[in-house]
Structure 1
Amino acid sequence: MAVTDAAIDKIKGMIVSGELAPGARLPKEADLAERLGLSRNSLREAVRALALINVLDVRQGDGTYVTSLEPRLLLDALSFVVDFHRDDTVLEFFQVRRILEPSATGMAATNMDDADIVELKAILDALPEDPSIEELVANDLRFHQFIAKGSGNTVLSSLIESLSGPTTRARIWRGLTQEGATAKTREQHTAIYEAIAARQPDIARAWATVHVAGVEEWLRRAL
């Protein structure tokens, strides 16, 4: 194991064991390096690496802290990584969406409160009658992310949000080339909303599956 990897593993061990809790400040660099049997250079490299994936927060002039370790924060690094997808793997991202989003939509039908339902309707109504491609994609992202958040599962919501990047390009492509994409999106979003508002998780899940699978199938033919 490389020295830096070993240093990362040791700091991770302190966090996983509970010795360093979320929000805790790491000991001074010299003290921590001696305690872990590391050189200060190796420790610095480990801290930089863990800061990049939002496990540590380096505050200039203050110290280094463990972040909140919330799923949204940790999975933010995933969204950075998936942006490097290739066009020949975008279908695989849609397959993952087809697994995750219907489950989140079904959960949202059970867990959203009345205020959430009202806000979801407002998002639906915010789409202009004749939207540009950018407006259509932005509204679509907002609609799906709000539903994912409404599932009540922060890990699931963060995973879905992380997958938005690679699929945005496909949404734009579809909007530019498929006739009737706007009307179909509006129709399916309305069906999803109505199922959630009626507290019908099975129907909401089914419509979400139809919606994501429709984009996936169009993309499969286009590629």
Structure 2
Amino acid sequence: MAVTDDAITRIKQMIMDGELTPGAKLPREGDLAERLGLSRNSLREAVRALSLIHVLDVRQGDGTYVTSLEPRLLLSAMEFVVDFHHDDTVLHFLEVRRILEPAATAAAAAKLTDAEIDALAAHLDSLPDDPTPEELVDSDLVFHRAIAKGSGNPVLASLLETIAGPTHRARIWRGLTQQRATEQTIREHRQILSGLRARQPDVAAAAAVVHIAGVEDWLRRAAAAEPSVAGE
């Protein structure tokens, strides 16, 4: 289990045990990190991840609070993490994407204009040097949407757009918890772009397979690392 995942699990357990109730303020960062046996950086990343899904509310200059949600809603918000790690639905969506996306990418390699490929390159270049997981995934969605549209098949593009939604949060979660996920994603986008620019459908499609399989592999390994949760 990644260090950030471990930190998230420990904070989650404090909430589930009632030690931190909805509306409660978290202890000071240093005190909580020491109590949980975590580095401040790991704790900070965990807080950031949990605030992203509205389990925690970070108030600038005030502190961090458990969101004032009804217990039922709070538990529902926490369960989405389990969905990523143990619900096969997300994996099924990724499997379908792994089948369709390379086909769209191969078609786009033959049909995208030079100007459209230049626009894809400019889009990748516009990403900050150190993007947040949210920025990276938003960029990823735009990149793949343009390629799907460039396939010339509106039905295929529509299917891929539908599949993108259920996997969006999983991809952000990967960026938050997997080391070097950002660098890997950027490198794989560049490889796809290279295949498109060279007008090599097979190369572009293969790069797309590798790119999507990376998320799928991460999710399968994450599930295997937390067998106890699956049995709850």
Runs of 4+ in 1 over 3 A off after TM superposition: none
Is 2:101 aligned against 1:101?
A: yes
Match for residue 51 of structure 1?
none
- Three-state SS of the structure 1 residue aligned to 2:199 is coil
Match for residue 116 of structure 2?
116
In the TM superposition, residue 114 of structure 1 has moved relative to its aligned partner by 1.1
In the TM superposition, residue 216 of structure 1 has moved relative to its aligned partner by 0.4
- Three-state SS of the structure 2 residue aligned to 1:163 is helix
The aligned runs of 1:18-57 (5 Å cut-off) are none
In the TM superposition, residue 210 of structure 1 has moved relative to its aligned partner by 0.5
Is 2:147 aligned against 1:147?
A: yes
In the TM superposition, residue 121 of structure 1 has moved relative to its aligned partner by 0.6
In the TM superposition, residue 134 of structure 1 has moved relative to its aligned partner by 1.1
Is 2:209 aligned against 1:209?
A: yes
Identity of aligned residues (%): 61
In the TM superposition, residue 126 of structure 1 has moved relative to its aligned partner by 1.4
In the TM superposition, residue 195 of structure 1 has moved relative to its aligned partner by 0.6
Question: For the residues of structure 2 that align with 1:135 and 1:102, how far apart are their CA atoms?
Answer: 23
In the TM superposition, residue 109 of structure 1 has moved relative to its aligned partner by 0.3
* Total equivalences in the alignment: 138
Match for residue 190 of structure 1?
190
Match for residue 90 of structure 2?
90
In the TM superposition, residue 123 of structure 1 has moved relative to its aligned partner by 1.2
Match for residue 131 of structure 1?
131
What residue identity is the alignment partner of 2:93? Answer: F
Question: For the residues of structure 2 that align with 1:160 and 1:123, how far apart are their CA atoms?
Answer: 20
Match for residue 60 of structure 2?
none
The normalised TM-score by structure 1 is 0.61
- Post-superposition Cα deviations, 1:60-91, rounded to whole Å, max 9, x if no partner, equal xxxxxxxxxxxxxxxxxxxxxxxxxx641100
- Three-state SS of the structure 2 residue aligned to 1:152 is coil
In the TM superposition, residue 107 of structure 1 has moved relative to its aligned partner by 0.5
Question: For the residues of structure 1 that align with 2:116 and 2:93, how far apart are their CA atoms?
Answer: 28
What residue identity is the alignment partner of 2:114? Answer: D
In the TM superposition, residue 122 of structure 1 has moved relative to its aligned partner by 1.1
- Three-state SS of the structure 1 residue aligned to 2:219 is helix
What residue identity is the alignment partner of 1:155? Answer: V
Match for residue 174 of structure 2?
174
What residue identity is the alignment partner of 2:157? Answer: S
Question: For the residues of structure 1 that align with 2:162 and 2:178, how far apart are their CA atoms?
Answer: 25
Question: For the residues of structure 2 that align with 1:159 and 1:125, how far apart are their CA atoms?
Answer: 27
Question: For the residues of structure 1 that align with 2:129 and 2:155, how far apart are their CA atoms?
Answer: 34
What's the RMSD between the two structures over aligned residues?
A: 0.9
Gaps of 5+ in 2: 1-82, 224-232
